[in-house]
Structure 1
Amino acid sequence: MAPYYRTVTSCCYVSTFRAICDSFREVISAEVENSLRTVNIHQFLFFPAFQQNMPLMYELLKCWDSTEEGFKIKDHLLKFTTDEVAILTGLPNTGAEIIWYNEPLGGVLSTELKSEMAQLSRSTDDAIMLKTFISFVVSNLFFPLNSLKTPRRLVSIASRLEKFSSINWAWTLREFLVNEFNRMATKLATEKPLGYINGFLPLLLVSAKHQHILFNL
C-alpha cells in the first residue's frame, strides 16, 4: 500500500483553538465577556471544535474558479461572498476594508500568543486579557500563516478595541482567503506542489455545509 500523501497542508487547528478558549472562559470576568460582545467576537469562544479535513479541503480547492470567485461543483456554484462570511462568523459586514498580506511580516509568533493565553489567570488585568485574546483570535484563527508570524499591523489593530471594531473583518477574511484560493488554483493548473494554504480554512467547510453541497463531492 502506498503511503498517504498530504497534497495540501494548513496550520489552522480549530480543535486546538477551542481547547484554549475553553480554558480562557474559566478565568475571564463578566466585564471581559461584555467587551468581547461589543467587538463582535464573543461567539468565537464557542466556535465548533471539529478536526481538520484536508482531503475534503483539497477536493474543494480543485473546484475553485478564479473568474467566478466561487466553487463549481457539478451543476452548483458555491459563491464565497462577504455576506456569507458575515453570516457564518457573526462579524458585521461594515467598516474599513484592509489588505495587510502584502506588508512585511515580523510580528509576534502565533505560538507565542498561545503561550500567553495559557498564562492568563483570574488575577490578570482585564485590558491584558482582551488584548491577548483578540491577538490570539487574529493570529491563530482569522489569519494563521505557515510562517507562524503575525504582521505588526494586525497586532497593533488587535491591541486597541476601538480600532479592532472599526475594521470590516468579514471583508478582510474573505479577501485574504480568495487570494489564497487563487494561489492554489495557479499551482493546480501548473501541476506544482500545493504545500501550505494559509487562513481561516474551516470557514470554507462550514460554508459548503451551509449551502448543502458537501454530499456532491
Structure 2
Amino acid sequence: MPQNVPLIYMLLSNWDMKTESFIIKGQSLEFTSDEVALLIGMPNRGIIFDVGNARSTRKTSNNIRHDIERMDNTTPMDDLVKGFLLYLLSNIFYPMTNFRIPSSILKVVKNVESFNKYNWPESIRSFLVQEFNIVATKKAKGSALGYVNDFVMIVIVSIIIFFQLIFS
C-alpha cells in the first residue's frame, strides 16, 4: 500500500509521547486500545501479546504473501487458517522494517487455538505507540524519520474521520 507521506508526517508530528495522544488543533485525541478494537473488530480483553525483539525467522513477509497466492481449493483448511493468521500478524499488524517474521508470531500460528486468548487491540496499540515514539524522537533530533509501520494508515483514516466529525 503506498503511503501518503505528508499526511503521515503531519499526524506523527502531532504525537505527544507523554500522553500517548495526538494533539490536533489544540484538541487531544487519546490513542487507546478501544479505538484499535473498533478498527479491527476484535475484543479488547485477554493476554497482551508482545511481538518483542526476539530472533526473527528466515521467512519474510513476501514469502508469506507468495505462499498464500499459491493456495487453492485443494489446500487443507488448517493450512489456509495458519497462512491467513501468519499474513495478518506479519504483514498487517506487525510488519517489521527488515520484512522478517518474528519467531513470536510463528508461535501463535503454530498454536491457532491460542489466538483468541490475546488482547490484540491493546497489543497492537502498544506496538504502534513504540513506533510513534521512535518517530517522534527522531523528529525531535532532526533525524530522518525512516520506516513507518503500515498499520498506521488505518489509524490515520480513523483519526481523520474522527476530526471531521468533531469539526464539521
Superposed, 1:1-217 pairs within 5 Å as 13=1, 52-213=3-164
Q: Which secondary structure state, in structure 2, belongs to the residue aligned with residue 106 of structure 1? A: strand
TM-score, normalised to structure 1, is 0.72
* Separation (CA, whole Å) in 2 of partners of 1:214 and 1:55: 22
Letter in 2 for 1:175: S
Q: Which secondary structure state, in structure 1, belongs to the residue aligned with residue 101 of structure 2? A: coil
Report % sequence identity: 35
Mapped contact 1:131–1:159 kept (Cα < 8 A): yes
Runs (5+) with no aligned partner, structure 2: none
Q: CA RMSD in A?
A: 1.8
Mapped contact 2:60–2:99 kept (Cα < 8 A): yes
Q: Which secondary structure state, in structure 2, belongs to the residue aligned with residue 58 of structure 1? A: helix
CA, structure 1 residues 88+110, in 2 after alignment: closer, same or farther (shift >3 Å)? Answer: same
* Separation (CA, whole Å) in 2 of partners of 1:107 and 1:206: 33
TM-score, normalised to structure 2, is 0.92
Letter in 2 for 1:131: K
CA, structure 1 residues 80+127, in 2 after alignment: closer, same or farther (shift >3 Å)? Answer: same
Q: Which secondary structure state, in structure 1, belongs to the residue aligned with residue 29 of structure 2? A: strand
> What's the CA shift for 1:52?
2.8
More strand by share: 2
Mapped contact 1:176–1:199 kept (Cα < 8 A): no
Letter in 2 for 1:168: N
Q: Which secondary structure state, in structure 1, belongs to the residue aligned with residue 57 of structure 2? A: coil
Mapped contact 2:54–2:103 kept (Cα < 8 A): no
Letter in 2 for 1:160: N
Q: Alpha-carbon deviations, 1:112-146, whole Å to 9, x = none?
A: 00000100000110100110111011111111112
> What's the CA shift for 1:107?
4.8
Letter in 2 for 1:103: A
Stretch moving more, 84-93 or 51-60: 51-60
Q: Which secondary structure state, in structure 1, belongs to the residue aligned with residue 154 of structure 2? A: helix
* Separation (CA, whole Å) in 2 of partners of 1:215 and 1:60: 17
Mapped contact 1:78–1:211 kept (Cα < 8 A): no
More helix by share: 2
* Separation (CA, whole Å) in 2 of partners of 1:107 and 1:211: 40
